[in-house]
Structure 1
Amino acid sequence: MRWEAFLEAVQERGEYPTRSEAERAARVVLALLGAHLVGEERNELAARLPETYALILLNPLRAAEPLGPDRFVRATAAWIDGATEETATWDTSAVLSVVADAAGDELMRRVLLQLPPGYDLLFGRPQRT
């Protein structure tokens, strides 16, 4: 996926008035996501993203422990100036739903297996329980 197409999709889904707001959300969410994925799934996902975002996903800070979806959203809010948990949920879902589209169903299934329960909703891919 090209950078412009990825960012345009994030901007549209997040209803951001500017491209820079979409860019900020994408960078934060992908850095946090990269801290929670390992191995082949992280590499495959990075290969399906634009290079700029692939590098962010592949070079994250290491998470001390896996964050559940609620804590992931709170961490996103902490990294985005002026964000609330509500706006961070919006930001997270806007970015991760575009990531899920780029990944495809088979890779998303494997990615979700690495994450705590509940991330399927953030990716816009509700799973049967």
Structure 2
Amino acid sequence: MQHDEFVGAVQHRADLASRGEAIRVTRATLTTLGERLQPGEASDLAGALPMEIDYFLQDAHSGELFDFDEFVSRVSQRAQAEQSDALFYAKVVVDVVAESVPDTELDDVTAQLPDAYDELFELVGEDSYY
């Protein structure tokens, strides 16, 4: 998937008004995910994403341990969105990421996260949005 296609998918599925908003929620989600994953896993996941998107994972300070509520809070702050909206946006971004990377890579990501993070992957593989 190319950068424009990735951003367009996030914008459409999250029903965002602009590409800029789609990039902001993508950056918020992937930076926060990159912080939570171990350094090697963040880089592995980034490797399968468009060049302009992978930077958000690679630039994060990986290896932090924080719970799912903190994950949503960080995404909310970075995306400048209410927490309920930020959670939905993060789910959309993760779904688009899932379409862009091999299944084995997504399995490696989910294996590193506690069960409380399962909600983040709810849209993965769904056919309808919003």
TM-score, normalised to structure 2's length?
Answer: 0.84
Aligned-pair distance for 1:120? 2.8
Aligned-pair distance for 1:2? 0.7
- 1: CA distance, partners of 2:84 / 2:40: 32
Give the RMSD, CA atoms, in angstroms: 1.9
Contact 1:7 1:23 (C-alpha < 8 Å) held by counterparts: yes
- 1:55 matches 2:55: yes
Task: Encode CA deviations 1:57-86: one digit per residue, 9 max, x unaligned.
Answer: 1111356x42222221111112222x2111
Contact 1:96 1:123 (C-alpha < 8 Å) held by counterparts: yes
Q: Partner residue of 1:46?
A: 46
Q: Secondary structure at the match of 2:36?
A: coil
Number of aligned pairs?
124
Structure 1 letter corresponding to 2:21: E
- 1: CA distance, partners of 2:97 / 2:120: 11
Structure 1 letter corresponding to 2:105: L
- 2: CA distance, partners of 1:123 / 1:67: 17
Unaligned 5+ runs, structure 1: none
- 1: CA distance, partners of 2:17 / 2:44: 31
- 1:23 matches 2:57: no
Equivalent of residue 114 in structure 1, options 112, 115, 118: 112
- 1:69 matches 2:68: yes
* Percentage of identical aligned residues: 32
Task: Encode CA deviations 1:85-111: one digit per residue, 9 max, x unaligned.
Answer: 111111111111111221232211111
Q: Partner residue of 1:87?
A: 85
Structure 1 letter corresponding to 2:121: F
Contact 1:68 1:117 (C-alpha < 8 Å) held by counterparts: no
Contact 2:42 2:62 (C-alpha < 8 Å) held by counterparts: no
Unaligned 5+ runs, structure 2: 126-130
